[in-house]
Amino acid sequence: MERNRNFYRLSALIIILILILASLILFGSYRLSVQYFRLFFHVISVFLFVMAVIMLLGFFGVGNIMKRNMESGKKSSFLTRIALRYFIPLLLSLSSLFNRYKDDVRQIFIKANNKFVISSVKKVPKEKILVILPHCLQNSECRQRIRSGLNECIQCSRCNLGGIKEIVKNHGVDAEIATGGTSARKIIQDKKPQFVIAVACERDLTSGLMDVKGIPVYGILNQRPNGPCKDTFVDIIEIEKAIEHFSL
């Protein structure tokens, strides 16, 4: 709840700042006597007002999608698209700039993206679904070489990979281990799936969701009780539910 509140606070603050700036510049443009300066300020104020409108639409788009029931299957609205394409990426840049609320905004983005994917993606043949997992899910004391896939995992139950191996085998979907964002993108390029279920931290998942174009990606956050990138965990039931929901 607190994270959602921070997200809405940051959004409202940015929209108000843009509106104030736009109003000030518009006011200044009427007070200045030099014609070109007026024109310049007019252009800037129009640009800022347009930005403020996009931000407002995006803000309502996020509110709209967050209120929805995930199973509703309603078509995503124009506002949702504006929110995912323009509003949240802009918020993410600003939160990175000020180094505040980054993970809050990222989590909202991931949730909104997942709801959008649920409402817009029809079922996909199971062999066209790819599950991408971060290498940090593997127990750090495990000596099995699993970087190139789950085949060598002997399912000793010391980490989630054994359970995930079972799930993907039972459902006939492909799974790969990625060592980072670049490796995940390369795997997607090489395998050309129709649908991706990606497990990662807020940062990697967000950048992946923004970078992958044309292929829907459903994101699942990992948990990091041992710090970043070490012996992480994931809710394997959530992976299984996602596979069942999206596979034909």
Q: Which of 76, 97, 66 is nearest to 1 (CA)?
A: 66
Say whether residue 196 binds ligand SF4 (CB under 6 A).
Answer: no
Say whether residue 155 binds ligand SF4 (CB under 6 A).
Answer: yes
Say whether residue 156 binds ligand SF4 (CB under 6 A).
Answer: yes
Of 55, 108, 110, 153, which one interacts with ligand SF4 (CB under 6 A)? Answer: 153
Q: Which of residues 92 and 168 has its CB atom nearest to ligand SF4 in the complex?
A: 168
**Shortest distance, position 242 Cβ to ligand SF4, whole Å:** 20
Of 55, 65, 161, 175, which one interacts with ligand SF4 (CB under 6 A)? Answer: 161
Position 42, amino acid: H
Interaction pattern, residues 205-244, with ligand SF4; x per rule: CB under 6 A: ----------------------------------------
Of 4, 29, 77, 144, which one interacts with ligand SF4 (CB under 6 A)? Answer: 144
Cβ atoms of residues 39 and 30 within 8 Å: no
Say whether residue 77 binds ligand SF4 (CB under 6 A).
Answer: no
Say whether residue 166 binds ligand SF4 (CB under 6 A).
Answer: no
Cβ atoms of residues 61 and 83 within 8 Å: yes
Stretch in the footprint of ligand SF4 (CB under 6 A) among 103-111, 155-163, 169-177, 180-188: 155-163
DSSP string for 23-89: HHHHHHHHH---HHHHHHHHHHHHHHHHHHHHHHHHHHHHHHHHHS-TT--PPPPHHHHHIIIIIHH
DSSP β-ladder status, 174-178 and 129-134:
parallel
Stretch in the footprint of ligand SF4 (CB under 6 A) among 2-10, 38-46, 134-142, 207-215: 134-142
Of 43, 50, 154, 248, which one interacts with ligand SF4 (CB under 6 A)? Answer: 154
Say whether residue 159 binds ligand SF4 (CB under 6 A).
Answer: yes
What are the φ and ψ backbone dihedral angles of 129, each rounded to 5 degrees?
-95, 135
Residue 120: both structure tokens together: 């817009």
- How many residues form the binding site for ligand SF4 (CB under 6 A)? 13
Say whether residue 135 binds ligand SF4 (CB under 6 A).
Answer: no
C-alpha span between 170 and 13 (Å, rounded): 48
Q: What number of other Cβ atoms are within 10 A of residue 166's Cβ?
A: 15
Residue 9: both structure tokens together: 């606070």
Say whether residue 146 binds ligand SF4 (CB under 6 A).
Answer: yes
Cβ atoms of residues 132 and 198 within 8 Å: yes
Cβ atoms of residues 232 and 136 within 8 Å: yes
Q: Could you list the residues that contact ligand SF4 (CB under 6 A)? A: 138-139, 142, 144, 146, 153-156, 158-159, 161-162
